[in-house]
Structure 1
């Protein structure tokens, strides 16, 4: 859910129902753990105490919008990552993700946008939809776990431990995430790929 302009511009403390506050604190903790970051590391980057960050994650302290922006930057997401539609049916929570409510991450310099298809990051895996712009290249990286993917449209160049593969719509793949890997879009239209990663990385 996109943060309304007035909410994004506010400098006062975020106020709302306990349900909203709970969601933000829980998501901060969930995302921090998924990224393998410590309380100390995030607190130092944001410029707050470990105790205060712990209180935020446990929803025991109000959260100024300025601090949330710094936390978002430190965790590598847009601030709207932490805001969801408040009218989601109770029976869909933590099970269903409607297309209009996907949480998004944009890597502007890389030309890649990712949408979280999983309802949360607290389970054993995450599912993402990546949109890779024409000419975009992720660069080499590796991390713990295993991942698999399915090319939905476009062309995907994939490198795994130095091996190069060119995949088209309908092709799929899987490899150990500890192997150095990289992906790029050599085509003339955006490439969309659904990824499944375990354990969650975002």
Structure 2
């Protein structure tokens, strides 16, 4: 097999690698892109052309095009004029810059994970509305539906605090030695370590939200 000879190195001083771009420059470019995006969206929402806005703000059309494309930085005075023409304040222009991306968990209606808990039978369903990704559960929100008034329920215990909010129907709910009549709009908050659960289903179908906050107890 033929081998390729290494090329001899050129004599003289080796070329220095290009210096990394200062972080501040990258941030400025991101800010320019944000400003341009907001201005363009606002202009298009009002069915205005670049020529319309440029003429009203007293800037050149070419400059406004570059601003909208994040290609140039411009003065606050120019930004104030452009914002004014588009019915915005400078505060609104910068409002959502440098906001954390976030990562909310979105569960569409009817797509909650159906889970089985001790004592769950036909006509009694739990839909888990959020799923913890980490090693420890912090919170568990359920949508609970009951439509069998003859069902007998066990009591439950668990760590943390539970919050119930009634959506539909009427239920008598036990917590320890006490029972509570829950109707739409009512809420109940209690320690999960005390035995609790439905006592009587007074009007079905019943739907309520149950949120368990484990905190540091689990």
TM superposition score category, shorter chain reference: 0.3 to 0.5
Q: TM-score, normalised by structure 2?
A: 0.44
